[in-house]
Amino acid sequence: MEKDNFNDQVSLLIEKTGCNQEQAESILRSTNRDLEQAISIITSLSSKNTFIIKGRFACKTEKLYGLFLIQADNIGQEIKKLDLIVSRNALLCQWDIGCNWDELEKYIHSASLRKSELSNKKMAKLHHDLIDLFNNVNSEEKKNIFKSLASSEISELKGILSIQIGRLLDDPNIDLVLDVNQLTVLERDYLEKKATKEKIPSEEETLNKTEVASLAPEISLQIALILSPVSGILVTELKPGDCLTVRIIDTTTIGQYLAGLMGARDKDKIISTVANIEDLTPVGFDKIKVQVRFGPGIIGTTVVSKNVKIKSSLGGFPDKKKNLLSKLTPTAIKEKIITPLPLRPVDLAILIMIVLLIVAIMVKL
């Protein structure tokens, strides 16, 4: 009887989400047969929240031509990646931007290896200002850009980009052509990792199981750092490997679900947790993107000003000789200096099931 009920749930999940039987069975087991939670997680993973913006432009007065490829995250409302090339070669404007985005990306990378007619300083400024256009939190233009993308009305986006590129290249007489596609986070990460793998020569004609697993995408959660304007440490003084106290503020279903498993959320209450810094990336001239690692396949990201000070944990940040993790003594935990990660065996099993589900989805793509 119980088996029949499980099979009914599998059939219903397939009907509602379009997933296959293997995926349905895996996610139902990982959520302890919670059908509603299973639907929410698959829907979250399948939402097309990544915008791929392909564009070409011609500055008629300055005789400058360009191609660009922008990967924008609608959930985080920021640019994930920008590829750009500007040249006096008019052949750039003959490129069909209706092509697959990975083909355009490869072409831009290849073209960028050649000597550019623009100075490195001018190219760097153009690159920076376009990223800042999408990532500036207080910008009204940013809000209009993502609103335009979400509604599939790219005319406003085209107008904003035309004005900005024309201003940066000192030529308001500009023709701009755009093409916008939407991908799920799984499709984007899988294609990126597959493209990276294809760049490495290999004698193997097929991927073995280990290689397939390495193509599994990472789930990126929105986080917030704990600020301390008086006694904190400048974010510019942080380095990869440092351990931070953070809050997971991700509002997606999968984000809140994982936060709960990691002890960083109790119903609607957000609980501080710890994670090691994996990467620090400059964003423009005055911001830094902080990426932390929670575990295999799960990272957290946030963008903050270079001038902010981060709250010190356990009386200070690790120096070159000591790692903060070595200070996580039972006494420190008992005194609530830091919140531990209460992962029970059943929680760990669920996390493993989610990773296996993602790998299964990748194999089917």
Q: Confirm whether 200 is domain-assigned.
A: no
- CA-nearest of 264, 309, 306 to 289 is 306
Q: Confirm whether 188 is domain-assigned.
A: no
Q: Confirm whether 191 is domain-assigned.
A: no
Residue 175 predicted with pLDDT over 90: yes
3-state secondary structure at position 91:
helix
What lies within 8 Å, CB to CB, of 293 at 6+ separation is: 275, 276, 278, 299, 300
Q: Tell me, what's the pLDDT at 325? A: 33
Q: What is the pLDDT of residues 248-301, one digit of tens each?
A: 988 877 778 788 877 888 877 888 888 889 999 887 777 888 999 887 678 899
Angle value at C-alpha 178, between 188 and 53, nearest 5 degrees? 20
User: Residues 7, 141: one domain?
Assistant: no
Q: What is the pLDDT of residues 142-170, one digit of tens each?
A: 888 888 888 878 888 899 899 989 988 88
For the segment 91-95, the average pLDDT, to the nearest whole number, is 81
Q: What is the pLDDT of residues 11-58, one digit of tens each?
A: 888 888 777 787 788 778 777 788 888 887 777 666 667 889 999 999
The residue from 26, 47, 68 where one domain ends is: 47
Q: Which range in 115-124, 169-178, 306-315 is most confidently predicted, on average pLDDT?
A: 169-178
Residue 241 predicted with pLDDT over 60: yes
User: Residues 95, 236: one domain?
Assistant: no
If one counts the domains in the chain, the total is 3
Alpha-carbon Rg for the chain, nearest whole angstrom, is: 23
User: Residues 55, 30: one domain?
Assistant: no
Q: Which amino acid is residue 152, in one-letter code?
A: S
First vs last Cα of the chain: how many Å apart? Answer: 34
What share of residues in the chain are helix, strand, coil (percent, to 5)? 45, 25, 30
User: Residues 80, 148: one domain?
Assistant: yes
User: Residues 58, 178: one domain?
Assistant: yes
As separate numbers, helices (DSSP H) first and strands (DSSP E) second, the chain gives 12, 13
DSSP letter string, 262-330? TTSEETTEE--EEEEEEEEEEETTTEEEEEEEEETTEEEEEEEETT-EEPPSTTS---SS--GGGG--H
Quick one: which H or E segment has residue 327?
none
The residue from 159, 183, 207 where one domain ends is: 183
User: Residues 260, 164: one domain?
Assistant: no
User: Residues 18, 101: one domain?
Assistant: no
User: Residues 157, 219: one domain?
Assistant: no
User: Residues 82, 173: one domain?
Assistant: yes
What token pair was written down for 97? 């931007």
User: Residues 64, 133: one domain?
Assistant: yes
Give me the count of residues in the chain: 365
Q: Which range in 78-82, 137-141, 161-165, 201-205 is most confidently predicted, on average pLDDT?
A: 161-165
Domain that holds residue 280: 215-364
Q: Confirm whether 260 is domain-assigned.
A: yes
Q: Confirm whether 204 is domain-assigned.
A: no
User: Residues 146, 267: one domain?
Assistant: no
Query: Strand pairing partners for 299?
Result: 220, 293
Q: Confirm whether 82 is domain-assigned.
A: yes
Q: What is the pLDDT of residues 318-330, one digit of tens each?
A: 443 333 333 333 3
User: Residues 342, 327: one domain?
Assistant: yes
Tell me the pTM. 0.49
What token pair was written down for 323? 């790692």
What token pair was written down for 130? 């376009």
Give me the percent of the chain exceeding a pLDDT of 70.
70
Q: Confirm whether 193 is domain-assigned.
A: no
Q: Tell me, what's the pLDDT at 203? A: 36
Q: Confirm whether 197 is domain-assigned.
A: no
